[in-house]
Structure formats: structure tokens, C-alpha cells
Chain A
């Protein structure tokens, strides 16, 4: 038995060492979200879905806001619509990731109609949330490196093979850099049609949840005690915007009301028709468009600073 245990231990140790090395060295390449849980608690945050995860770059914010008196650096704690729509679960995770001692942070909450949608068969008031089993909600430890809890609970999310291509990189500041961009108009159109298909599906399968809207209100109130909160509606192509309007017609009004009630700015960039930022699928800003947008967002923040 001793010989068996000894050899098994050696084998497991080798496997463990390899795994550890990859997770520490290439954590941002093998999983879209892993690095979100390996970094220290955040002083300032970007909250939202895949749009803000790719379109708002903390490095740019840190550069432009460094003399504005905020507690930096900014950390992008955005996920995807499927995983982390606005709701009590996401709020709980945000508060877990937030450094509670911060009093003067800056918090960008990227809001979209889909972020306030719930599955038709979910009753949020009874605690039914489609995102319940996904990260970040299944994570107890959000600032541990390497994070074995994430590995054990979310092994399915890992794509170790991606290490060879490195087309997507999740940076240590939480920004997802997507380098796989369309190389022709035809590819762009194809990708956009896929996104439209997803929107159409969501329109069928989801309904606007007043529970999530209330939850957004709670989130804003809680973050307000740690610094300045900005509600932001990021730019997307006009036809995609129409689909969002179809799903949630009074979205702008509801968010405006909520912002006024909490005395925070609502920066609705979709209304800045003279501003055009590049997307790679009509929905997500590409890394160049994201950089321009983040810079523009910082200008707006400085302008609106209380």
C-alpha cells in the first residue's frame, strides 16, 4: 500500500504542479472569468455584462481618472447576461469582491434591458434565478490565487487548449481583450446576425423583471456608500437597439427615474448619435472602439463629478 500511495502521490503532484503553473501563468487565457477571482478585492468597479467586460477598459480609466480623487485602481467585475444579470445574487458577489473600507471609489454599472430580464418560467420573488448555479454566484472565495474553488466548481468553463491560440485574454484588471476580430464585412455581418438571433431568442424566453429593477436600486444604494455610482448605457448598433426597445420599451425612463431617485448620473451613450464606436458584431465594442469609449466615458465622469 505504501508503494502505491507513494507513486500515486508523485503522479498527482506532477499533475498538480502542471495545473498550478498553467493557472498562475496563463489563467487569463484558459478561462474568461478565472482571473476575476484571483485578484485582490476591488477599490473601484465596472459592473455589467459582456458588453462592459470587453468595452470598458480599467487601464484607460485608471489613466484618465488618476487625478480625480477616486480610490483606484478600477476592476472590471462584469460577466455575461447569462451568468450575472442584475439581481440579488450579483449584488452579493459584487459586495464580496469590493474592498469594504473604500469610501471614495468609482462604480460604473453598465445597464441594458437584458440585464433586467428573467426567464419566463422563473419567479424571482420566490428566489428562482436562472443564473444561480453559475460563477460568480457559486464562488465563496473571490480573491484567491490560484483559485482551486473555481477550478473544482467550474471546470467546464476552462479551455486549456486556448492557451495555444491566445485569441482572448482576461487581463488581471478584469478586462477581456478579444483579438479575434472580423477580417471582412461578410464576417462582421455573419457575427451580427448571430447576435441578433440571440437577442430574438432572449426576447422570446425572457420577460422584464421588476424584481431585478428593485435589485438594481438596492445595488446603487449600497455602492453609493462607497463612492460615486454611474449608470451607463453603452453604445450599440441602431438595429440592435431597436430589438432592445422591443423587449423593454420604458427602459430609459425607468433607469432615469431610478438614477434621479438615487441622485446618480445616468449616462445614456446610445443617445449620443454623433458618437460612433466600433463594434465587432454590432453589439460588443472591439478593443479599439472600447478604448475610445472608455476615454469618452472618463470625460463624462469628470464632467459629471460631484
Chain B
């Protein structure tokens, strides 16, 4: 079941109504019910992989108790190792087996050995990259004594499989989400109303912005030789908005849905396209993943409190792993590498923590300098993203090369709808850039609020496109 489907629009209100009817009884009933509907939600995609989530949850549940009860540091570490091996093993098998098998054979062939390709027809379970990281963070936090292990299997299972964020995040830490499963939720009007607003905005970003841009982007990336330089440039820009609309839209719907059930998930996107440098950009883009890597990889490696050479090494490690997390393809690794390359100079000149606040926090317009910095960051990240979108590294180079060949001067048959909806989205988000989401307009007059709701509904109706997936489902 995906968010932008009629089935979900039927499922959600029914699930919501029963939840609050049953929820009056007890916390246990609330959690059991959430567990059932979450498994149902995931099972609609492929019920067989429910066993995988259940197994992952079960092992981490007992591992965490083991860590807590272990008398020695060594034993605690062994429990952590079990969790790491199990979670990364699952991820490795389902996501990376074919990549490693292929790469190894390629390597053998390069050095002169003949080897046969052995690849398996492995289906990637949707959301595996997200929920394995979520359960991993739980055992690591228990090990670091940041959180007590859960004493209720139902609570823990419901936390791992919580349907709004199960498939594509945000990757919720146990420290934030698990305690919310340990306390009976009470209905809050403000929370639910804001959740609805965020969901509406998420739907707009997904079906109007992302899915309209996708048409132009797919055409250009499928065969760049058929497009002019101008068209390829525009498609590259559109891809940035497609990706943002798709993923940030998903996050908005997820966070909004969770709020309807009384939960607060962490913000996952904080208006990244207003970032003034790459460091700020990644502090605002897919924040739950950035923070995960920061806390569980970057800091343990020493972070920035080590010598310069190690600092640089750490940055490269983080970005390369992040690239690899996105997919078993060299294009993602290249994408990670280029991000690191773009980031390192900032760090060397100690400018990576210069822009911690949102741009123009105290004024409406940014300064010229800020405007230029935003544009520069955006354009460079767009070029780097060509590697993210292309099928192979070679294709990405051909794509960029063709942009700079200036062949065919036109921008092609530019889709005016896409340009209009992107502009609208940027404008609305600029107005609300200090808020938690683009449609946080709870303090505006009634006419403005309801005008916005109805206008967005109309835009979804008239300009929305139907797609049957989200980009981040593949990761």
C-alpha cells in the first residue's frame, strides 16, 4: 500500500477512527492495534517479508535485554555484534549480494581469471534500509545506555513496524519514538489538524511537483542523445525537484499520518534548497539519515576532533557509506564521493558550521550574497545528482558532457505546469521556512487557511499525476 493511492485514503480514516475508539481503553490495546495495522500496511506490498521484519524485531528485542543483563563489557559487545551481524547481514544479502558478486567477477576478469556471473533473483524488501537502521540504532543506544531496553515485546514490535515511517523513513531513533509507545496517547486537536496540513502539503509535493517533473526527467535521462543541452540542463534541475517532492513529500505524509495517531516524528527535511553551502544542505536534507551516520559512524570515528587527515578521511567515509546505503551501484558511490569532495574545502576553511540558522531568519529577503550562495549550492548539488539518477557512471559523464556541448540551443517543450508548481512550492516554503513544514499556517486567518487547503486540493486534482511508487522505495 502506498500513500498516493485510493486504498491508503480509505485505509487511513478507518484505521484512525478505530484507533481512537479502541484507544480509549488502554495503552496495550493502542499498541496491539498499531502493530496489526502496520503489518497489514506492509503486508499489502508483500506479506512474505513480514517475517523478515518480525525476525529482525525479535532478535533486537532480545539482544537489547541481553545487553542490559550482561555482566561484562565483552558480553555486551558480543550482543551488539549479533545485532550488527544480523541487521547488516540482512541488508547485505537482500541489497548488495548481486552488486558484490558482479563486482568480484569483474575484478577477476580484469586480472585475467575467467569467472562466471552468479547472481540471484533477489527481491529487495521495501523499507529494509530504513527499518534495519532503526533497529540497529536501538541496540546501539541500549549499549551506550542512552535508553533502557523495552520490556514489552508489543511496544517494541509496534515501534519497529510503525506504518507511517516503515517503508521510507524518517529513520526514527528509539530515544525519540519508543518512549511514545510507552505512554498512552491522548487525542490532540492541534496535533491532528497540523498533521492533516502536513499530509496535504506532502501529497501536493508528491503528486503535483514530483510526478509532473518525472515525465520530463525520465525522457531526458533515458536517452540524453535525443535531448538538446538546454533540455538536459532543465531536466537536471527538474530532477532536483522531483527527488525533493517525492521524498520530502513522503516524509510529510508520514509525519502527518503519525501525528493523527498522536506521535511526533522528527523533521526529515528542513527546506534544503534554501541552504547556502553543502554542509547546511545535508543538515537539512534527509536529516534522519544524516544524523544517524553522524551519531553512529562519524562520531565513533572521531568526528572532527581528530587530526586533519583523519577528519578528511571521516568525511569521505561518511559520504561514501551514505552513497552505498542508497543503492548497490557505483553511481551512488560516485555521488557520495563527489559530495565529500565538495564538502572537504568547507571543512578545511572551517566554514562548515557557518550557516546553522535558516537563511534570512530575521528578514524576508536574503542578501545578494546569500542568494548567490543558495543558487551556487543548488546548481552544484544538481550536477552531482546526475550521478545519482544516471544508470551508470559513464551515462552520467555523457549527460554532463552533452550539457556543456551546447548542442541544440532550445530548452525544448518546457512543461509550464511543472515550472508553475515548482515556483508555487518554493514560494510557500520560503514563507514558512522557519516552521516545521511548508504548510504550517495554523496562525493565519481562517480565510487564508481554508483558501490554501481548497487551492491545494484543486491543484492536486487538476495537476496531479498518478505514479505507483516513491523513489526512495528502492533504497
Contact = CB atoms under 8 A, between A and B. Distances in A.
Interface of A: 1, 3-4, 7-8, 11, 14-15, 18-19, 22, 152-153, 155-156, 160-161, 163-164
A4 B466 contact: no
Interface string B452-475: 011001100111001000000000
A1 B187 contact: yes
B6 A155 contact: yes
9 contacts: A1-B189, A4-B192, A8-B196, A11-B450, A15-B457, A18-B454, A156-B466, A161-B462, A164-B462
Nearest to B193: A4
A1 B466 CA distance: 32
B6 A160 contact: no
For chain A, what secondary structure do more than half of its interface residues adopt (helix, strand, loop), or is it mixed? helix
Contacts of A161: 417, 462-463
Contact of B462 (A3, A4, A14, A160): A160
Contacts of B187: 1, 4
B97 interface: no
Which 3 pairs from chain A and chain B are nearest by CB? A156-B466, A160-B462, A160-B461
B424 to A, nearest CB: 15
Nearest to B7: A152
Contacts of B193: 4, 7
B445 to A, nearest CB: 15
A165 to B, nearest CB: 12
Contacts of A22: 461
Nearest to A8: B196
Contacts of B453: 11
B466 A18 contact: no
A4 B189 contact: yes
Contact of B189 (A3, A19, A163): A3
B189 to A, nearest CB: 5
Interface centre among A4, A18, A19, A22, by most B CB within 10 Å?
A: A4
Contact of A18 (B20, B192, B450, B457): B457
Nearest to A162: B462
Contacts of A11: 196, 450, 453
A155 B466 contact: yes
A7 B195 CA distance: 13
Nearest to A157: B466
A259 to B, nearest CB: 41
Nearest to B196: A8
A156 B10 CA distance: 16
Interface centre among B458, B462, B463, by most A CB within 10 Å?
A: B462
Contacts of A153: 6
Nearest to A161: B462
Contacts of B6: 152-153, 155
A7 B197 CA distance: 12
B458 A18 contact: yes
Contacts of B450: 11
Nearest to B260: A4
Interface string B175-191: 00000000000010100
Contacts of A18: 454, 457-458, 461
Contacts of B196: 8, 11
Nearest to A155: B6
Contacts of B462: 160-161, 163-164
